[in-house]
Structure 1
Amino acid sequence: MSSKKFNLHQEMVQLDGRSTPAAAFLKSSARYLDQNQGYRPIMLSDDSKPFGAGYSHADILRASGPKSKNTGLLETGTSAKLERKPTYTDLDDDWDASLDGDVMSLGIKPVTSSSSAQSVTSYNSTSPPLITSSQASSIAQSEPVHSPHADLYTFSRRSSPGVGSLKPQYDRIVKDPANSLHMIYQPDVSSIIDASPAEVELLNARIARINKFKRVLQSSNVDISALRNLAWSGIPDELRPMSWQLLLGYLPSNTDRRVSTLARKRKEYSDGVRQAFGLSMSGVGNMSANSGIDQAVWHQISIDVPRTNPHLKLYSYESTQRALERILYVWAIRHPASGYVQGINDLVTPFFQVFLSAYVDADVESYDPGRLPKDVLDVVEADTFWCLTKLLDGIQDNYIFAQPGIQRQVAALKDLTQRIDAALARHLQQENVEFIQFSFRWMNCLLMREVSVKNTIRMWDTYMAEGSTGFSEFHLYVCAAFLVKWSAQIQTMDFQEIMMFLQSLPTQDWGEKDIELLLSEAYMWQSLFKNATAHLRPGGPS
């Protein structure tokens, strides 16, 4: 075996179906050991930031200007400097738990395997492969051995996937998402021979986190309560499609029912599309020419879909837009009490993006779904439809006539703000700012026009973990925390400045840490005020 040492900034690893420089992966979730508080996340120097999603008043497109090929990453040959700073409040002890209880750090030796496409050097252990710096250093000199757990704990260095490539054995994932649990690629351990202890630790932390989810998801009868507890602090990208489907109740928790249930639900959606449009799910044509469709509903959908997430390439492709049109139209005609309402087009996109990621080795936000085989695109579309339906079932009074659900939430947000930040509430009243003027959109679109799709996806991990009230009750507290966050700035503004500020908030550079801080604050307010109805009534006790 070659003793070549690998450069962390040149080696590519597979993460969430895409090829990523190893250094970037290692920096993305580093943690350090604090003697008093245990393992805590490390803040890292990284200029690569997600941009806020939004249009209408909040249109903020990706900044232009010269960018290096490795924007946001350390250049080759530089050292990774880990900056230790305080981070958000951790409300779930998963990240702080001792790793020793999860896995045993045994010797890891390489296994050399080959396929018709390429030879792959893999590393397996008889337990989840936590490693030490010294073990990583000795791996290159080890002799090949075989492990009985190669399918579960394999570290593979794969070549960068071509644009539009499908994940291995994607057809098995189509049949049952649980098959993806055996196809999670981790970095080649040989790529961290020169890594610092902190970098080794972050990899171990990620492995431990994934294994916690896998222990729950691989059960013959998934414990949804345990899955919620894990999901509150965020779901690993590779496990999110299956986890979301379970948390929403679309995917049966019992393994024996999954294949038949998915096949039945997907066929039901396919039949609904054919009935509505008289064409196949992936058929493309002038649907508006079909005299059988509701022209008013179709007209509004056909206007809104091209405006959806215009800053992301994924949503500019015809294949994406046609899929979203079908999903929204079929949902509207199946729910005549509400029909299609502007804003629902935003809510469909996190599902489409997450479920698409289950099948492709590419950057999902720039991927053209038209490259997918028809049966795979049909599955992504059907699963998106049913999970959107599950979400909207819990907040449907937000979209019926007069939208009473949103009206109640706006009133509750005003009362809650008076309790949390009386000075802010007083200033808004003095400037004649009505909560309905800025927070209606927050409730209607679940803050999707205020933060990026990636950040929305992270928020929804927690919303789904909250259960049936996550998108209604818990969202109210998130909106309260979101408003109070800007209190100091708002109190220096007049009416016009306030309205302009709240319509285009400075969230362009928000990352996962900012979202988790927001969720933590929302949890605090919920703990203080939930079920304390007097606090949510005007004139209640001080």
Structure 2
Amino acid sequence: MAESTAKARIGSPGKSFWKKSGNKVPGSVKPVYGAQHPPLMHNDLTSSPNKGPAPRTAPKGKKVTSFDEFNTKTSDAWDESDPWDAAEPEEIVPTAKGTVPPRVERREERSQSGRGLRSASRGSGRHSSGVGGSGTTATLPDRDTIRLQKFEKLLAGPNTDLEELKKLAWGGIPGIVRSTTWKLLCGYLPANVERRHSTLDRKRQEYERFLAQYYKTRLDSQHEQTFRQISIDVPRMIPSLSLMNQTAVQETFERVLYIWAMRHPASGYVQGINDLLTPFFIVFLKEHIGPSENLDKVDVSSLARETLAAVEADSYWCMSHLLDGIQDNYTFAQPGIQTKVNGMREVVNRVDASLHRHLAENSVEYLQFSFRWFNNILMRELPLRCVIRLWDTYHAEANGFGNFHLYVCSAFLVRFSKSLLQEKDFQGIMTFLQNLPTSRWGDDEISVLLSEAYQLKYMFADAPSHLQSTTTT
């Protein structure tokens, strides 16, 4: 009788016996986005593990298409304004349950009202709790402050624990410490605090010697074509950001890219490398002008010569470290990109067979749309603010710009599966892929994308044979 009465109370609308809570229910499965080790999603656990890949459909006769025409028609995510004068986006915050997006955490905080915690307004970002019913309140630090304090404690040394720094950086890095954190994760700065100043001085002086040795050769007949291509590509970068149109900035990019090409003759300069320099330059520049400063209002030529020289040298060394890990993307025939595109094809075929078949049936080759995703590390597909947030995780992830980027690109394509399946021909599919709706993306979308990519990595990392090419599409 008592049991039936309890069931009646639970089932009656508006008279629920149990108080609703955002906490986990025993036996439930809830995805945690943005964590370093996110769990499997519910649909992965419920799907049949023995289910093999969907049958492959042979492609129809290939239509004659022009990849150059595709490339020229492509719309970049940064064609629309990128509001760098806006406040720093909310950071992903670690909790006892893992790292969760801010909105999810706010819902969980509101569910804790039975414990005496109440959330203040969104604008204040602070919490107050009643004390003994006396009406007095205690103001607690907001989540961003707590997160920043964790970074500052790690960075203060005397020896920074790089593994702990990677775990903390995976969910995003506060702007005020991003520059130092990137330099540490790139191996540019040593973990020992006392050695950092001398290391920076030595590396910056070494870059100055490179300039003196190589830059004067840019007009020599054997190097003239390289420098000419660089000088053509640099003005085309992020046209919506007026900072990139300043002469001092363009000259900085020309020097860095030319010196890198001279120091790496195996690949030399390849179009796309210029885009990879941009995030480093922006992040290191904001270290000197302030993370909240509007970049469109900054006159770089007014900065002290020593400041701009430091930003230039730091950008060169960190970009070099990035490219050392993916240099086969830019050597002859770009074998690294070919391998990653094939791997992406296999991943998509296994996680979204219907999308894979749809692309094949409409003669859409993965290389036609994803070449630039790997060549430019999604710099043209995402707003710059999202790229920088993405790179926070890439720096923290083992081989983030290589293998992990493959899973990010796979998750990125699958994200638009529904829209792509609605396109009924080659032209419609390619037009959509040329104009992906990402211009308004922010931290939440990037956090979900990274979580989905980590899930794919978790599924395939221990089964490398799954990524061997077995299809003819």
Note whether the superposition's TM-score is higher than 0.5: yes
Unmatched 5+ stretches in structure 1? 1-33, 42-53, 73-89, 100-129, 136-192, 279-286
- Measure the CA separation in 2 of the matches of 1:404 and 1:472: 13
Q: 2:74 aligns with which of 49, 57, 61?
A: 57
Q: State the match for 2:450 in structure 1.
A: 519
Q: 1:206 aligns with which of 130, 144, 148?
A: 144
Quick one: structure 1 residues 93 and 502, their matched pair in 2 at CA, closer, same or farther if it must change by over 3 Å? closer
Q: State the match for 1:172 in structure 2.
A: none
- Measure the CA separation in 2 of the matches of 1:91 and 1:532: 26
- Measure the CA separation in 1 of the matches of 2:286 and 2:86: 23
Alignment RMSD (CA, Å): 3.3
Task: Judge conservation of contact 1:55–1:449 (CA < 8 Å) in 2.
Answer: no
Q: State the match for 1:358 in structure 2.
A: 287
Secondary structure at the counterpart of residue 322 of structure 2: helix
Q: State the match for 1:92 in structure 2.
A: 99
- Measure the CA separation in 1 of the matches of 2:192 and 2:405: 29
- Measure the CA separation in 1 of the matches of 2:320 and 2:86: 38
Aligned partner letter, 1:473: N
Q: State the match for 1:536 in structure 2.
A: 467
Q: State the match for 2:199 in structure 1.
A: 261
Q: State the match for 1:428 in structure 2.
A: 359
Secondary structure at the counterpart of residue 484 of structure 1: helix
Q: State the match for 1:244 in structure 2.
A: 182
**Deviations, residues 279-327 of structure 1 (Å, cap 9, x unaligned):** xxxxxxxx96x44771011010000000011111110111110000100
Q: State the match for 2:92 in structure 1.
A: none
Question: What displacement does 1:352 show?
Answer: 0.1
Task: Judge conservation of contact 2:158–2:192 (CA < 8 Å) in 1.
Answer: yes
Question: What displacement does 1:94 show?
Answer: 10
Q: 2:400 aligns with which of 461, 470, 477?
A: 470
- Measure the CA separation in 2 of the matches of 1:353 and 1:333: 24
Q: State the match for 2:337 in structure 1.
A: 406
Secondary structure at the counterpart of residue 210 of structure 2: helix
**Deviations, residues 166-217 of structure 1 (Å, cap 9, x unaligned):** xxxxxxxxxxxxxxxxxxxxxxxxxxx9xxx9xx77x611111001111111
TM-score (norm 2): 0.72
Question: What displacement does 1:353 show?
Answer: 0.1
Question: What displacement does 1:533 show?
Answer: 2.0
- Measure the CA separation in 2 of the matches of 1:62 and 1:487: 24
**Deviations, residues 118-162 of structure 1 (Å, cap 9, x unaligned):** xxxxxxxxxxxx874899xxxxxxxxxxxxxxxxxxxxxxxxxxx
- Measure the CA separation in 1 of the matches of 2:86 and 2:202: 45
- Measure the CA separation in 2 of the matches of 1:516 and 1:373: 37
The answer to whether the aligner puts 1:36 opposite 2:23 as a matched pair is yes
Question: What displacement does 1:58 show?
Answer: 1.5
- Measure the CA separation in 2 of the matches of 1:60 and 1:470: 22
Q: State the match for 1:80 in structure 2.
A: none
Q: State the match for 2:233 in structure 1.
A: 304
The answer to whether the aligner puts 1:442 opposite 2:373 as a matched pair is yes
Q: State the match for 2:113 in structure 1.
A: none
Give the share of equivalent positions with the same residue, in percent.
Answer: 45
Q: State the match for 2:208 in structure 1.
A: 270
The answer to whether the aligner puts 1:347 opposite 2:285 as a matched pair is no
Structure number with higher relative contact order (C-alpha < 8 Å, ≥ 6 residues apart): 2
Quick one: structure 1 residues 425 and 453, their matched pair in 2 at CA, closer, same or farther if it must change by over 3 Å? same
Equivalent runs, 1:474-489 vs 2, <5 Å: 474-489=404-419
- Measure the CA separation in 1 of the matches of 2:429 and 2:22: 44
- Measure the CA separation in 1 of the matches of 2:80 and 2:240: 10
Secondary structure at the counterpart of residue 92 of structure 1: strand
Secondary structure at the counterpart of residue 408 of structure 1: helix
Question: What displacement does 1:37 show?
Answer: 6.0
Aligned partner letter, 2:301: G
The answer to whether the aligner puts 1:490 opposite 2:420 as a matched pair is yes
Q: State the match for 1:216 in structure 2.
A: 154
Question: What displacement does 1:366 show?
Answer: 4.2
The answer to whether the aligner puts 1:369 opposite 2:300 as a matched pair is yes
- Measure the CA separation in 1 of the matches of 2:462 and 2:378: 24
How many residues align? The count is 372
- Measure the CA separation in 1 of the matches of 2:80 and 2:197: 44
Quick one: structure 1 residues 411 and 364, their matched pair in 2 at CA, closer, same or farther if it must change by over 3 Å? same
Q: State the match for 1:155 in structure 2.
A: none
TM-score (norm 1): 0.64
The answer to whether the aligner puts 1:386 opposite 2:320 as a matched pair is no
**Deviations, residues 74-100 of structure 1 (Å, cap 9, x unaligned):** xxxxxxxxxxxxxxxx9637986999x
The answer to whether the aligner puts 1:321 opposite 2:328 as a matched pair is no
**Deviations, residues 484-542 of structure 1 (Å, cap 9, x unaligned):** 011111112110111111112111111111111111110111111112123223559xx
- Measure the CA separation in 1 of the matches of 2:285 and 2:24: 38
Q: 1:461 aligns with which of 389, 392, 411?
A: 392
Task: Judge conservation of contact 1:92–1:232 (CA < 8 Å) in 2.
Answer: no
